[in-house]
């Protein structure tokens, strides 16, 4: 099986033969790290210009290197570049092609760097760029939810605990709860971008280099704020990938919770919303079915995103400093998580934008299950100066009475309520409707429609600042 008799050009004179086929299979990363081609070429160009400025390579060599890299970039983007698994990774594929294009000057490009700091730079740059896009996608979903909240600041629905009707709220208030979650998601993404805004290139294999390089120049050219401060950490750090996966997992979990509610709300039993045909599918055997597949897939993809986070944490947990080949397993999980979260955000944005709210069904459900019982207890406290625990007990007896008569609290007669407590007056009816219950929740952060509108204005200003 061995490729005996042929020296390995990547690994140099230390190895007399090429890799065994099985070794090539486990070792090669080009099948997935080709995704880093643009970042790898950008890093190489910045490195070449820096080497020239520092007098380490000639201007002519740098000019040929950059021209060759431009050609390679065009070839890859045109689909004309031939990737080779025998060359192992994106770095060596590009370097080999560069040598064919420009000859001997290509060999000068790797002066004062290693594949260790090269891949750390490529990957960090890719993650930083992708997270900038994810941040914008989160903002887009927030905007759609704020628009729905604005349109439905007065639309009453049941608020749930334990998936049981608890107290009436507005649909606008419910939408804004997810805006709050997404705002935290965006802040985590933006914070992670700030933390990863350091350039590892120049750390070389692990110890830095004896060449008089200018790491600040390279960092600036690549859009980083500064170079990393420790060469060992530079090549072995993957916190930036963990930050991305952690933020992605939390965001996906929020999307999954919303997706679960959409699945429930769209059932005939709830009928709170109607999904558009664009985000639903039918059944191959049951013609009446309209399945919320987009929401279900968002819910499912959360599992694979969470799995990517756990996978990378496990890869890194026992690695000594500095670089180990284990780190090759960092990329596929990140690539997959980014793709999954991107499509989940896009699908949820379209799904929320297109869905129709069935306000009458929501309102009817909001009045079921004696959802204004807490309003009755609060009234007893305010008007009769009753201790809340006693008010809770009295209210429970009134609820039992309503259940006995199969009616709502507001449909009980005053005589019936006074049979439970003779201090109850006609004024109690001012708090027993769902409309008055919702309107009364005026504490900061409460569901009163006027509160919702204030929060809508706040979030419209915040989203406008996000750009």
Known catalytic residues are 162, 283
Q: Which of 285, 287, 261 is nearest to 275 (CA)?
A: 261
In the structure encoding, which two tokens stand for residue 192, read together?
Answer: 């992670």
Angstrom distance (rounded) from CA 94 to CA 209: 23
In the structure encoding, which two tokens stand for residue 235, read together?
Answer: 């090549």
Q: Which of 120, 257, 122 is nearest to 185 (CA)?
A: 257
- Please check whether residue 335 is in contact with residue 130, taking contact to mean a CB–CB distance below 8 angstroms: no
- Please check whether residue 170 is in contact with residue 449, taking contact to mean a CB–CB distance below 8 angstroms: yes
Question: CB-side exposure of 214: number of CA atoms within 13 Å?
Answer: 14
Angstrom distance (rounded) from CA 116 to CA 128: 18
Residue 92 vs residues 58, 99, 109: alpha-carbon distances, Å:
22, 10, 12
In the structure encoding, which two tokens stand for residue 361, read together?
Answer: 């069904």
First to last CA, the chain: 57
**Bond prior to 374 in cis (omega within 30° of 0):** no
β-strand partners of 198? 226
């Amino acid at each position: 099986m061995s490729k005996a008799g042929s020296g390995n050009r990547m690994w140099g004179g230390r190895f007399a033969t090429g890799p065994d086929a099985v070794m090539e299979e486990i070792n090669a990363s080009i099948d997935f790290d080709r995704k880093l081609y643009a970042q790898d070429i950008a890093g190489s160009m910045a490195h070449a210009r820096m080497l020239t400025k520092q007098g380490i390579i000639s201007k002519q060599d740098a000019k040929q290197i950059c021209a060759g890299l431009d050609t390679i970039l065009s070839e890859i983007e045109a689909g004309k570049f031939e990737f080779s698994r025998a060359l192992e990774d994106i770095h060596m594929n590009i370097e080999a092609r560069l040598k064919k294009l420009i000859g001997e000057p290509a060999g000068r490009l790797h002066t004062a760097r290693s594949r260790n700091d090269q891949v750390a730079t490529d990957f960090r740059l890719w993650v930083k760029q992708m997270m900038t896009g994810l941040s914008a996608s989160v903002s887009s979903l927030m905007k759609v939810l704020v628009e729905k909240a604005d349109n439905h600041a007065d639309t009453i629905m049941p608020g749930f605990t334990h998936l049981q009707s608890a107290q009436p709220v507005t649909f606008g208030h419910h939408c804004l709860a997810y805006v709050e979650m997404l705002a935290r998601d965006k802040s985590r993404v933006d914070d992670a971008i700030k933390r990863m805004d350091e350039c590892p290139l120049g750390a070389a294999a692990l110890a830095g280099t004896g060449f008089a390089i200018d790491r600040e120049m390279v960092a600036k050219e690549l859009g980083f704020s500064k170079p990393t401060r420790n060469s060992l950490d530079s090549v072995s750090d993957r916190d930036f990938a963990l930050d991305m996966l952690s933020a992605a997992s939390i965001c996906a979990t929020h999307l999954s919770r919303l997706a679960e509610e959409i699945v429930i709300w769209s059932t005939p039993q709830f009928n709170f919303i109607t999904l558009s045909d664009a985000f639903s599918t039918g059944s191959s055997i049951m013609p009446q079915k309209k399945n919320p597949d987009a929401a279900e897939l968002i819910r499912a993809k959360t599992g694979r995103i969470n799995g990517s986070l756990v996978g990378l944490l496990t890869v890194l947990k026992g690695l000594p400093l500095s670089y180990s080949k284990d780190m090759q397993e960092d990329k596929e999980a990140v690539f997959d998580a980014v793709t999954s979260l991107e499509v989940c955000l896009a699908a949820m944005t379209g799904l929320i934008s297109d869905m129709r709210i069935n306000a009458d069904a929501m309102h009817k459900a909001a009045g079921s299950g004696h959802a204004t019982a807490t309003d009755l207890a609060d009234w007893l406290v305010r008007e009769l100066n009753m201790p809340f625990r006693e008010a809770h007990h009295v209210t429970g007896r009134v609820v039992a009475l309503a259940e006995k008569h199969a009616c709502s609290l507001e449909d009980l007669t005053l005589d019936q309520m006074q049979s439970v407590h003779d201090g109850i007056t006609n004024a109690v009816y001012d708090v027993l409707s769902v409309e008055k219950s919702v309107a009364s929740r005026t504490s900061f952060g409460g569901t009163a429609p006027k509160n919702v509108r204030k929060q809508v204005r706040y979030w419209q200003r915040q989203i406008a600042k996000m750009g």
